[in-house]
Structure 1
Amino acid sequence: MVVTPSREHAVRLYQAIRSHIEERGLTDYGTLVAFSGTVKIDDIEYTEPKLNGFADKELPDRFGYVRADDPSAPTVPKREYRILVVAEKYQTSFDQPLLTTMYVDKPAWTKSRLGTWTSVLDPAGFFRTMPVLL
């Protein structure tokens, strides 16, 4: 997961990552984007469903799909998504057991933001009992 500072930044980063992956012929690195509403960039309107190709309510299940865990994978091929670019969405309470890495490309120096990041990093409270180094 890559957390970005704005919806525009999320769209631009999503497009750059997809382009990079396609240029290198990497087929196992599906990329998704998550943000609320519509963002207009260079007179083009973007929405999460338009970019991903499916309804936003499907995103958690699609991002959580792992071909190795699917007994019907050989007969019913599905896309695996390994990268999720987000802006103003899923920054708290995103329950995804497969999420192993989070890059935060946004300032996190205020107390309220720091509290948000610590709760995302470990919902079990590990970081609430130890100092967080930024």
Structure 2
Amino acid sequence: MLISAYSRWLIVFVCFAIFASPPTVKAETMHLMGLANLKCADFNSVASKRKQSEQGTLEWIEYRTYIGGYFTGFNTAQKVFGGDGMTGSKTSIEKMTRWLEAYCTDNPQHSFNRALQTLTQSVIRIESGS
């Protein structure tokens, strides 16, 4: 059981270290991985070509997988540290990707990480009724 508990904390720590980014932390000091390093314009490009080619579809799946992993890490960290996370009652991957497409269309120069952070804040406000 000690290994299991240790592994769980290690996973939570890694998820938190990768995905958590408090607003007071400057982007230059965070180490972002994967698609978070790209711009919203890159996401928009993939979103627009996802139905036009097999490569576009594969890139779209990569983004959807990243988004799912981002929110899984966020929810795991929230649950472990006493938060509610996102219940999913008002969210789905389809709704999140549509929201991200709209956000990234309006803000193509923003990082994809910033888009995910803004989406997270938006979903939490909706689910909490704020």
Fold conserved (TM > 0.5)? no
More strand by share: 1
Q: Taking structure 1 as the reference length, what is the TM-score of the superposition?
A: 0.25
